[in-house]
Each structure stands twice: as structure tokens, then as C-alpha cells.
Chain A
């Protein structure tokens, strides 16, 4: 193992410990959507042809976006604890630091979405196609997008309060616009035209296509999301490699 991999492994292990010591947010973003799915499933089944898929993927997208706060907090805490500059004073590079920081958080996001999907299948009776690898790809892509957007957010906000406000408001606006509550086909025309501006729209399209087993309809939104995530990741790396640690913390 190279020195670089050893440092990434050390950071990953350390950050995994930190995540395990603070399971509250993960559990709440896991239990809440389960309860909502169960309560609203009968209504959705009556209201929409694919009501079960709509409620399962919709809640998955909404609560996975809300889980952005986990990504943001994981990064922002480094600043409030003054550990970011301390780490940068060691031989670790910014790429190693971000990988070690983000891998455990990525695991949390993927785990949350996987459990919700399995819950939708086993408890709500959702029937996915036989193309099992497609939902796996969809979850991996959506998790990576959220991770990058969360890191970018954490790089610009000045406090945990600011982060919380942005993730709460942003999550509800973007997922509503993306059709997570009700399909975008029920929107007024002008809102339907705006919907693709939301990453939630592409996430919904990708997840629903993946469950139907539609490969092209899964991969096209996945590419859009990877573009969004890639841009956010580049921004986050650029911002965090500068004097972010010394920036003013409210």
C-alpha cells in the first residue's frame, strides 16, 4: 500500500468512527421517510398509476437531499473544531483529505438510499424489473451527486445554522420542483418547463427508470447528475484547498 493510500485509509477509519458516534441524523432521515411512505402509500396508489413507485422514490429523493446536512456538517465541523488546518499541516494532500472525509459519508448516503429502496420493495410491495444493477448504479450516482453538492455547500456557508437553513429550504424546493411529491406531469406548463433545472428532477427520472429496467432512461439522467456533481466537486476542491480553514466562522 502506498503512503497516500495509507493516509486515505487512516482518515477514512477516523471519519467512520466520528460518523458512528453521531448516528442521530442518519436514523432520523431513515425512519421519517419509512413512516411517511407507509402512511401515504394508499393515497398515492389511488391517485397515480405508479403510486407506490412515486411515493417510494419521491421520499427517497426528498430525504436523501435532506441528508445533505450530514455531508455539510461532516465538513463544517472540521472548521469549527479547527481540525482542518491541523490536518493540512500534516503530509496529507487536499485530495486525500477529501477522500478520507467523504468516503464514510458516501457510505452513509448509499446505505440510506439502499435501505429505503429495499423497504419500498419488501414492505410497500414495489415491483422492480429484473435489471437489478440499474438501481445500484442510480443510487451510486445520486449519492455521489449529493456528496459533491454537500461538500460545495459546506465550503461556502459560514455556520451550521446557515447550512441547516439552506439544506432544509433547498431540499424542499428542489425536490418539489423535481416531482418528488407529485409527478411533474401534474404541474402547470410553466412549472414543467422549469423542473429540469432541479437535480431532483433528474434523480426522480433516473430512479424510476432504473426500477422499470429502462437502461437509456436511467443513464441519460445519470450523466446529467454526474455533470452537476462533477462541477460541485471541482468547486468544493478549489474552495477547500484555499484558506477556507481560516475563513470567518460565524
Chain B
């Protein structure tokens, strides 16, 4: 669905994207992670048609980004809403701009209102809503027209757990229905909740790409043993079973607690991005 091949974009002396290559298939959720300045938001801007790459090729459903805008739903990193308009007015505006007519717009509105639980504040002005509620309205404008590609740029930044959960559930459902989703975040456990594959960006390029299991394979986890006679013993290891047996054999006193931490996406991110 989304194909980006060796995309380069510079802003003056700063090379924001440096041979950035990424594919997202229909029904796939790709978690794009990386430090601030890794090129994630610039890549999203390229996909939105807001920034023209210096070189490389980007297609969405086989078309260049500007021609494919009706196939794309965007939830930008910053809140981008009219503070004096209501949530319903936003949905009407973005629905019409996406080409939805009366009946389909009404159906689509009901669907996102239900999925993101907007009913309680649908007719309130957005400027009076909490940050989490604004996030939900913003996500709703992206989901409304059932786009084939969803670009979610840190959509849960500053959101409460309830907002986060309702959004993740809605996205998972969309992916199950065939929507390709590019999801940038700094909050890596969300990607596990979404069942997303992972792409790690650093200095404008993708340095690792695959499923969580594939990328975590070979990374060290942690084995932790607590006894009443000794202090806590903690070891990083790629072979937790053997390490645990070794720790147990050498342990003195009664064993109170054993913890085995598998490597997480945080560990992966830190090992790759430094």
C-alpha cells in the first residue's frame, strides 16, 4: 500500500531524510520509532504531500502522495483543530472534503463517534475540551472516511489511558479490515498492544525493520534473584534458563523472588538507537 524507496529530503544543511526506505502492506500496522529528529514527522509530511522529497520514490496505492490524498487519513502530532468549532462541525468539514455525502457521512460519523466515544462532547467547542478529548476528535477526522492508509503521528501524546485504549482498539479494528497504518510513537508498549511490526528510524533512515519477535531475538533479557541472605542479584543474559539455574546453584539463603524480564521494544530501541 505504501512504498517509500530511498527518499531524501534536506532542509538547508539538515538532511531530515537520508535514503529513507519503508513499505507498509494493507492490513499492516507499522510502528515507526526513533529519537526526536530521526525523520519520522518529515516522512509523514512527505506522505501527506506537504513536503516534496529531493529524491527517491514514494507511492501510496501506486500513486504519488499528492494524487492519493483521498486515500489517506492523517492525525498530526500537534493538535490541528478549530478551537471555536465543535467536534461535529469538524467531522462534517473533513467528511465533505474527503468526498462523503449526506448518508455516508452520517453513517461514518456514527461509526467514529461510537468507536472513539465522542458522543458526550460532540456538540461542544473543541477549545473547551480536554487534551485527551481533542486527541480523540483529531483521530476521528482521520478515521472518518475509511482511508486505505492511516498516518498517526504520535496520536496518543499526552492522552489519558482511556483515550489511548479507545484509539488503539479502533486502529486495530481498522487494520483488521485492511487499512495500512503507519504509527509513530515514543511509547513503545503501544506497539505491542497494536500487534505492530516495527521500523526504527535514526538520522533520517530506517536502521531496523521487522516483527517484534524477529527484532528482539538475540537481545539480552534480565534475570533477577532475591534471597533473604544476600542482596538482589541481577544479570543480563541471552539465555535466561541457563543463567537462572546458575544463579540458583550459587544462591545462599531462602529464595524470595525470581524475576525474568524478556527483552522489550525499549531494549531494542536503546540497543539500536543508542
Interface residues of A (CB under 8 A from B): 3, 6-7, 9-11, 14, 17-18, 21-22, 81-83, 85-92, 243, 245-246
Interface set of B (CB-CB < 8 Å, partner A): 45, 48-51, 69-70, 72, 74, 76, 78-85, 89, 92-94, 96-99, 141
Is A245's CB under 8 angstroms from B89's CB? no
Q: Kindly state the separation between the CA atoms of A29 and B65 in the bound complex, as whole angstroms.
A: 43
Residues of A within 8 A of B69 (CB): 89-91
Instruction: Indicate which residue in A14, A81, A86, A92 contacts B83 across the interface (CB closer than 8 Å).
Output: A81
Question: Are the C-beta atoms of A21 and B74 separated by less than 8 Å?
Answer: no
Please determine whether A17 and B49 come into contact, CB atoms closer than 8 angstroms.
no
Q: Which among B50, B76, B78, B98 has the highest number of chain A CB atoms within 10 Å?
A: B50
CB distance from B169 to the nearest CB of A (A): 24
Give A92 to B79 CA distance when docked, in angstroms.
Answer: 20
B126: nearest residue on chain A (CB-CB)? A81
In the bound complex, do residue A246 and residue B50 qualify as a contact, i.e. CB atoms below 8 Å apart? yes
Q: Which of A17, A21, A85, A91 contacts B70 (CB 8 A)?
A: A91
Name the contact of A89 in the complex, choosing from B50, B81, B92, B96 (C-beta under 8 A).
B50
A88–B83 touching, CB < 8 Å: no
Evaluate contact between B84 and A85: CB separation under 8 angstroms: no
B84→A7 contact, CB < 8 A: no
Of A10, A11, A85, A92, which one neighbours B48 at CB under 8 angstroms?
A: A85
Q: Are B96 and A88 in contact (CB under 8 A)?
A: no
Q: How far is the CB of B272 from chain A (nearest CB, A)?
A: 29
Given contacts A17-B89, A21-B84, A246-B50, contact A86 B74 (CB under 8 A): yes
* Chain B residues whose CB sits within 8 angstroms of the CB of A22 once the complex forms: 84
- Residues from chain B with Cβ under 8 Å of A83 in the complex: 80-82
When C-beta atoms are compared, the residue in chain A nearest to B79 turns out to be A82
Other contacts beyond A10-B93, A14-B92: 16, CB < 8 A = A6-B96, A6-B99, A14-B85, A17-B89, A21-B85, A22-B84, A81-B80, A81-B82, A82-B78, A82-B79, A86-B80, A86-B141, A89-B50, A90-B70, A91-B98, A246-B50
CB distance from B94 to the nearest CB of A (A): 7
- Distance between Cα atoms of A246 and B74 in the complex (Å): 16
Using CB atoms, name the residue of chain A closest to B96.
A10
B6 CB to nearest chain A CB (Å): 22
Residues of A within 8 A of B83 (CB): 81
Identify the 8 closest CB pairs spanning chains A and B, nearest first.
Answer: A10-B96, A82-B80, A86-B80, A89-B48, A90-B97, A89-B74, A14-B93, A21-B84
Give the CA-CA distance A90 to B93 in the complex, in Å: 11
**A92 nearest CB neighbor, chain B only:** B97
Q: A86-B74, A91-B69 are known contacts. Are A81 and B81 too (CB-CB below 8 A)? A: yes
Given the complex of chains A and B, what is the CA–CA distance between A83 and B81 in angstroms?
6
In the bound complex, what is the Cα–Cα distance between A26 and B82 (angstroms)?
20
Interface centre among B69, B76, B82, B92 (most CB of A within 10 A): B82
CA distance A156 to B25 in the complex (A): 41
Contacts of B48 in A (CB 8 A): 85, 88-89
Contact of A82 among B76, B96, B98 (CB under 8 A): B76
Residues of B within 8 A of A21 (CB): 84-85
Which residues from chain B contact A14 at a C-beta distance below 8 Å?
A: 82, 85, 89, 92-93
Measured CB to CB, the nearest residue on chain B to A90 is B97
Tell whether, in the assembled complex, residue A89 and residue B85 are in contact, meaning their CB atoms are under 8 Å apart.
no
CB distance from A27 to the nearest CB of B (A): 16
Does the CB pair A243–B51 fall under 8 Å?
yes
Known contacts being A21-B84, A88-B48, A90-B69, is A11 close to B93, with CB within 8 Å? yes
Known: A85-B48, A89-B50, A91-B70. A18 touches B82 (CB 8 A): yes
